[in-house]
Amino acid sequence: MINFATLLQILFQKMIIHSRNRRLRMHQSLRSLVQETTLTTNDFVMPLFVMEGQNKQEPIPSMPGVFRRSIDLTVKECQELYSLGIKAVNLYMKVPENLKDNTGKEAYNPDGLMQNTIKAIKNAIPQMILMPDVALDPYSIYGHDGIITNGQVDNDATNEALAKMSVSLAQSGADIVAPSDMMDGRVAVIRQALEENGFPNVGILSYAAKYASSFYGPFRSALDSAPKAHTEIPKDKKTYQMDFHNSREALNEVFKDIDEGADIIMIKPGLPYLDIVAKVRDAIDLPIAVYNVSGEYAMIKAAAQNGWLDNDKAIIESLTSIKRAGADIIFTYAAKEAAILLNS
Q: Which amino acid is at 314?
A: A
Alpha-carbon gap, residue 83 to 77, rounded angstroms: 10
Largest CA distance in the chain: 95
Catalytic residue among 100, 122, 210, 279: 210
Q: Is 210 a catalytic residue?
A: yes
- CA neighbor of 182 nearest in space, from 210, 141, 154, 205: 210
Is the C-alpha dihedral spanning 312, 313, 318, 319 positive or negative?
A: positive
Give the whole-angstrom CA distance, residue 168 versus residue 317.
38
* Per annotation, catalytic residue among 100, 237, 268, 279: 268
Q: Distance of alpha carbon 87 from its chain centroid, rounded? A: 15
Q: Where are the alpha helices (DSSP H) in 34-153?
A: 71-83, 113-124
Q: 114 CB contacts (<8 Å, ≥6 apart)?
A: 50, 91, 93, 107, 132, 169, 172
Supply the DSSP string of 216-273, one letter for each residue. GHHHHHHHT-SPP--TTS-SSSTTTSBPTT-SHHHHHHHHHHHHHT-SEEEEES-GGG
Cα dihedral across residues 105, 110, 116, 122: positive or negative: positive
Which residues, listed in sequence order, are joined to residue 179 by a DSSP beta bridge?
134
48 neighbors 86 (Cβ within 8 angstroms): no
* 333 burial type by CB count under 10 A (0-12 exposed, 13-18 middle, 19+ buried): buried
- What does the DSSP assignment read for 165-226? HHHHHHHHT-SEEEE-S--TTHHHHHHHHHHHTT-TT-EEEEEEEEB--GGGHHHHHHHT-S
Catalytic residue list contains 301: no
Question: Which residues are catalytically annotated?
Answer: 210, 268
